[in-house]
A and B are shown apart, each in its own frame.
Chain A
Amino acid sequence: MAFAAIFVPNFRLQAVVRCEPELAIRPIALIDGPPPTYQVVAVNRLAARLGVAEGMTKAAATQFPGVEIRPRGKLQETTAHAVLLDVAWSFSPRMEDTAPDTVLIDVDGLASLFGAHENIAASIVSKCAEMGLTAQVALAENVETASVVARALPGATVIPEGREAKFLESLPVHMLSLSKELCEVFERWGVKTCKALASLPVISLCECVGQEGVRVHTIASGNGIRSLVIAEPAHCFEEFFELEDAVEDLEPLSFLLGRLLDQLCARLAARSLAVRAIHLHFTLQPSFESAFDSCSEAIRKKELFSDYVCAFELPVPCRDAKLLLKLVRLRLQSTPPHAPVQKIHMLAEPSFPRVTQGGLFVPEVPDPEKLELTIARIAHVVGEGNVGSPQLMDSHRPNSFRMHRFSVASASAQQVDRNGKMETKIGFRAYRPPVLTKVNLRGGRPINVAFLGRSGEVVHASGPWRTSGDWWEEDPWQQDAWDVEVNFPYETPPSQGFYRICFDSRQKKWFVLGAYD
């Protein structure tokens, strides 16, 4: 059995830098604690070189010029931990979620995929780097040794079987995650390294400090026997971003969204998954002046916009961050948030990627990802509800249909039918809304029709076709429809056409419903 430990040093800081990579080249200190007694909880190397240290108060840290003081990002830490788990799952399903900054993997059997242990360790380090985390990795025959060495040594370390004690001997005892009391005891005894601890007699150690002493002695000797506590894989992919200054324009906002989408897609790719739906949640800055200008009524009712929520459901699972960003941008352009954005929360619903095989004799259909983008662009031009596929409703009411999402899946599922008989049926062009018209009747039959500034005489008429329905609803309908052939002799040149007119019995008015064409 072989185990790999992945440890992310300075986890709190790396979690923040992962979301804002530009901070990596600036001296930065993270503060946390109850206000007003903020304390520095993490510093990067540049800030430490300037003299900032963990445990300092915020007031003391601000005395150092050039050091950027940031609040600790708990949401970013949650995301970074999820990223670490995704990296581990991308290598092996047998994984233990040890700590926010540490995970353990069972790498037994990975040799056929990644090669030797050195290659596995190097692959894990590079995968973490792809995800924006700098990790320390150690491979050993037991869990404890791998965990301790990963915390102590940078980069990728492979401990050969039987040489665990050799690797551990020079490490200080506090690397063994000791309790405070045990640390003091060992300090009093002058035990500073693992080698010194391993040389102590176990029975005497047990008599002095109890079972905890035996545990650390076993670890220091490199003879750990603990097994992994297997963790369940997560089914939720989230990314958070909290802005110091709220963003109002779409350009900088889409830059941030693009970064989050890149991270999400990388995480999904690590798990061989794709995005099925994306949920966006913006926490908006309560800006009184702008809100007052745009919606004084809302101010009066004390209904200020504080959140912006939108969701995208993709027809086919997709993992293309650029395509997703274009879709998000188009949606935000058509329905922008009503106030500057303070906080971004992006949630991706995962799904298995699309697996298709085209046929040689199957007609070409639009590429689903490209089609989704095209439809989103058209929706931006004509409006959200004006593009799609018509679906008839179970009603005799005129124009009873609804628009639903057009998808290639449904189109390509259609069987090719080349044996059908082709006939040219009468087409009908609907007037939406129906055109109000003036009709003269003789004997209950229309003889003259006037609409849209045109006046014509009815040559043939067929009707009335009475239809009604929904009398039990709030908006019932009842109409007498006529098919008429109308001559317009006073036009140049004289024209004629077939129209469907109707008398609306509720409104007591005549309308032209459309023309046969």
Chain B
Amino acid sequence: MDESTGGLPRGSLTEIYGPVSSGKTSILLSTLAGRTRNAEACALVDAQDAFDPNVAQTAGVHLEQVLWVRCRSLDQALRSTDLLLHGGGFGLIALDLADAPARVVRQIPSNVWFRLRRAVESTPTILLVLSQESNAKTCASLVLRLQKETAAWSLHSRNNNAGRIFHTPSCLLEGWTSEAEIVRTRIQRATAHYIDIDRSPVSRRDARKIVRFAVCADPRHENEPTLPVPSLARKKERKQNPG
């Protein structure tokens, strides 16, 4: 995703949205792990108090470098984000609205998003917003829409013992693949070398950029075969059968 998007831009607002189990939180944890590994201070404004420190530590997040704000309402979350942005000095500020009801998040006035964008401008901070729907609109410099594709369950035991279909402990959730569509990016526009004349919806849909990534369950399975990511799998096939 970093190669496709150029990474999460600093000094601007990035929005990642998608339904439940689309991989938003996985990307958030991955980003937090990367920033804290870089010795940066990070802040997580958790609108619905959904952050799990155990899972975060497993994902490689240095918890002592994360300021976790546990909010009980949207208003608290937005005010806290505003205070953190004005306080300055954080490498990443994540506003997690993913569990807040979509109809409530939709009611956030657009001036709030403009205010957040204005506050993060000319700072080295990444402002990351997670939600179920796109809300920031033009205030976001990078918008990603996530969608779950295929899940991977380890069914070794079931395959070996076909008759014991209810022997479920051996059936483990290993992960899934998600599709990330780059809905908007200002960074690419700035470096584009062509002019898109044809603005028909069909061509726009064709021109959209999609990245697929795998979300894996446990570091213990690192040595096992990787998940069947479609794009990667196709590349492998081509390499093996060039003809």
Min CB gap A377→B, angstroms: 5
* Minimal Cβ-Cβ distance residue in A for B21: A497
* Minimal Cβ-Cβ distance residue in B for A398: B54
Q: How far is the CA of A425 from the CA of B175 in the complex (A)?
A: 8
Min CB gap A322→B, angstroms: 16
Min CB gap A337→B, angstroms: 25
B182 within 8 A of A: no
A461 within 8 A of B: yes
A99 within 8 A of B: no
Q: Is the interface of A mostly helix, strand, loop or mixed?
A: mixed
Interface residues on A, range: 35 or more
B39 touches A390 (CB 8 A): no
B41 within 8 A of A: yes
B19 touches A497 (CB 8 A): yes
Interface residues of A in 278-296 (CB under 8 A from B): none
A485 within 8 A of B: yes
A424 touches B214 (CB 8 A): yes
B89 touches A429 (CB 8 A): no
A-B contact count (CB 8 A): 224
Q: A363-B40, A382-B72, A411-B65 are in contact. Are A429 and B25 (CB under 8 A)?
A: yes
Partner of A367, one of B49, B52, B89: B89
Residues of chain B within 8 A (CB-CB) of A460 are 151, 153, 171, 173
Residues of chain A within 8 A (CB-CB) of B30 are 422-425
B69 touches A374 (CB 8 A): no
Residues of chain A within 8 A (CB-CB) of B89 are 364-367, 370-371, 408
Interface residues on B, range: 35 or more
Residues of chain B within 8 A (CB-CB) of A356 are none
0/1 string, B169-184, CB within 8 A of A gives 1 = 1011101100000000
Interface centre among A445, A464, A498 (most CB of B within 10 A): A498
Residues of chain B within 8 A (CB-CB) of A517 are 20-26, 98
Residues of chain A within 8 A (CB-CB) of B27 are 424, 427
Partner of B87, one of A370, A420, A431: A370
A427 touches B153 (CB 8 A): no
Min CB gap B168→A, angstroms: 5
Q: How far is the CA of A382 from the CA of B91 in the complex (A)?
A: 22
Q: A387-B67, A415-B39 are in contact. Are A401 and B168 (CB under 8 A)?
A: no
Partner of A431, one of B36, B50, B56, B175: B50
Q: How far is the CA of A426 from the CA of B213 in the complex (A)?
A: 12
Residues of chain B within 8 A (CB-CB) of A424 are 23, 26-27, 29-30, 213-216
A444 touches B166 (CB 8 A): yes
Q: Which of B78-86, B191-199, B202-210 contacts A (4 or more CB under 8 A)?
A: B78-86
A416 within 8 A of B: yes
* Minimal Cβ-Cβ distance residue in A for B73: A382
B64 touches A389 (CB 8 A): yes
Q: How far is the CA of A497 from the CA of B91 in the complex (A)?
A: 31
Partner of A425, one of B36, B71, B87, B219: B219
0/1 string, A340-382, CB within 8 A of B gives 1 = 0000000000000000000000111111001101110110011
Interface residues of A in 391-446 (CB under 8 A from B): 391-392, 399-401, 403, 406, 408, 410-412, 414-418, 420, 422-432, 443-445
Residues of chain B within 8 A (CB-CB) of A382 are 69-72, 76, 80
Given A417-B37, A423-B30, A427-B29, 7 additional A-B pairs, CB 8 A: A377-B83, A381-B83, A389-B67, A390-B53, A416-B39, A432-B49, A460-B151
